[in-house]
A and B are shown apart, each in its own frame.
Chain A
């Protein structure tokens, strides 16, 4: 035993140390590496003109959201539709990198805890909603994009109020499954987040319907192309978490009730 220890002791100890180190790295979500990465690739300050461009884009986005709101208000029977959570100024963040593993659709952005980003913060880009923050370090954070196959967003069709759940397909498109057996949806319809979504505020523009398959099983499906050009994004804006996350279960039920009520009429 002593001989064995004399011969392999150092190797065993080193191996255990290496594995423990790797394990703690895993548990910290790669915090150190992302911190170094953000320090290495962070541009020096934010150029002013860029910010202004982004604010212009944001203004256009807000006016689109306002139009959406007006239509929403006109439908009094859906009074439970909440206004989008536009409180507070967004934080602009440069995109530093992409996902570290191609099975996931993520962004690495150059703002972190010090700038007030927290896990669950909503991320938008010119074009609308693109995802939410899933992990933060001091000066960088990771964003899970809506195009990831693990992303779920409750959506509705602006024109007809048909609701469903949107999932990513791993590229520029996403797929919606509708709650309704016969949803009123056609190619070209605009899709926004709905109050059913408890991770995202309602009414945020997402994309446009590009194909519809009403006979799909188990629920009618549609393919949506996202407004935001995820491939070429260089800057994104970060918003606070939605204020009141309703119970997902309850809202799902109430959603179904509303839909069946409509059907009866």
Chain B
């Protein structure tokens, strides 16, 4: 049976969008087993990594930026998450070219661990910038507070995100691979 091209694209797009929506809805939730020190997994970061692992630089950057804007909408707009997730997308896309990173669960968990540490560092730098310049009156007052909080949060967030990464990576990756194979079949 041949699946018409347009309807295949639309289905793929809706499944992708639905997965983003699911991640957005999981953000405020604190389900049992998904919480450590009051911190939940960063689902959008896992999504960006899952998306970027097998895509090119521009697609990765676009996804990172877009999901960063979405996360701003879900929490606060200053400092913007768009920057940190953009960095994550770009770095993940660059990473795949190196042969020693395999596409198994362990590697994905490791990538997510590293990326979430990097993302938190970017956010902490943004906070430091704001508190140093005194631009936004309602952020941390002292640099030392930013980095103290950073230490508390980063490890918990990185651990949880990397542990939950396969739960999102596996189904998404499976779906996108099937779609890719269908596309190849219909093209040949």
Contact = CB atoms under 8 A, between A and B. Distances in A.
A100 B69 contact: no
A113 B65 CA distance: 30
A41 B40 CA distance: 17
Interface stretch (B95-103, B138-146, B171-179): B138-146
Which of A27, A40, A97: most chain B Cβ within 10 A?
Answer: A97
Nearest to A33: B24
Contacts of B71: 100-101
Among A22, A27, A30: residue with most chain B CB under 10 A: A22
Given A25-B73, A28-B73, A149 B25 contact: no
B69 A26 contact: yes
A254 B39 CA distance: 41
Contacts of A34: 28, 74
Nearest to A21: B66
B21 interface: yes
Interface string A4-15: 000000000001
A19 B67 CA distance: 9
A80 B66 CA distance: 51
A98 B69 contact: no
A22 B62 CA distance: 11
Interface residues of A, number: 37
A22 B67 contact: yes
B21 A22 contact: no
Nearest to B41: A102
A69 to B, nearest CB: 31
Contact of A100 (B28, B65, B139, B149): B28
A167 interface: yes
A21 B71 CA distance: 13
Interface stretch (B75-83, B105-113, B162-170, B180-188): B75-83
Contact of A18 (B29, B38, B62): B62
A71 interface: no
Contact of B70 (A15, A22, A37, A171): A22
Given A33-B24, A97-B28, A149-B139, A106 B75 contact: yes
A30 B24 contact: yes
B145 A19 contact: no
B123 interface: yes
A36 B27 contact: no
B37 to A, nearest CB: 9
Given A19-B62, A102-B40, A40 B25 contact: yes
Contact of A25 (B25, B70, B153): B70
A100 B27 contact: yes
Most buried by B among A103, A167, A171: A103
Contact of A22 (B29, B69, B145, B153): B69
A262 interface: no
Contacts of B8: none
A15 B62 CA distance: 7
Contacts of B139: 149-150
Contacts of A169: 145
Given A97-B28, A97-B30, A25 B69 contact: yes
Interface string A198-221: 000000000000000000000000
Interface of B: 21, 24-25, 27-30, 38-40, 42, 62, 65-67, 69-77, 81, 123, 127, 138-141, 145, 149, 152-153, 156-157
22 contacts: A15-B62, A19-B65, A25-B73, A26-B70, A30-B73, A33-B21, A36-B21, A41-B29, A97-B28, A100-B71, A101-B27, A101-B76, A101-B81, A102-B40, A102-B156, A106-B75, A108-B28, A149-B139, A149-B141, A149-B145, A167-B141, A171-B152
Given A26-B77, A30-B73, A98-B30, 5 more contacts: A19-B66, A22-B70, A102-B38, A103-B153, A149-B140
List of 10 A-B pairs having minimum Cβ-Cβ separation, nearest first = A97-B28, A100-B74, A30-B73, A101-B75, A100-B27, A22-B69, A26-B73, A150-B138, A22-B66, A30-B74
